Amino acid sequence: DQQVKQNSPSLSVQEGRISILNCDYTNSMFDYFLWYKKYPAEGPTFLISISSIKDKNEDGRFTVFLNKSAKHLSLHIVPSQPGDSAVYFCAASDDNTGNQFYFGTGTSLTVIP
């Protein structure tokens, strides 16, 4: 069973506009959430994270929002740039499971110039 879900396989956005990527999870024990970015033929690279004690974390153009009651997190990219075109994975971990990370299936973002 997929404990972390990304229900949108793809997303297209115009350059300069906001990109919103969504992620849902089922395990209420998850307490740390991350977003990774992946270009073709490369490994995933860490983008931004959020602890369950927060509901928002911001880093430059990237903001992650966490809604624990809805078991939902989202990544906002403002403004979107063509270089942001990549596959984005959300991930979650639970301190009780030995530093295991559970990943979603990914959302392919295309930013149109």
Annotate 58-67 with b (16+ C-beta within 10 A) or e (fewer): eeeebbbbbe
Report the amino acid identity of residue 78. Answer: V
Choose, by CB under 8 A, the member of 13, 21, 34, 64 that binds another protein.
34
DSSP state of 51: E
DSSP state of 97: G
Choose, by CB under 8 A, the member of 28, 51, 67, 81 that binds another protein.
51
Q: Does the protein bind another protein through residue 80 (CB under 8 A)?
A: no
Choose, by CB under 8 A, the member of 65, 72, 102, 110 that binds another protein.
102
Phi, psi of 63 (to 5 degrees): -135, 135
Q: How far is the CB of 100 from another protein (least distance, A)?
A: 6
Binding positions for another protein, rule: CB under 8 A: 2, 4, 6, 31-32, 34, 36, 41-46, 49, 51, 89, 91, 95, 98-106
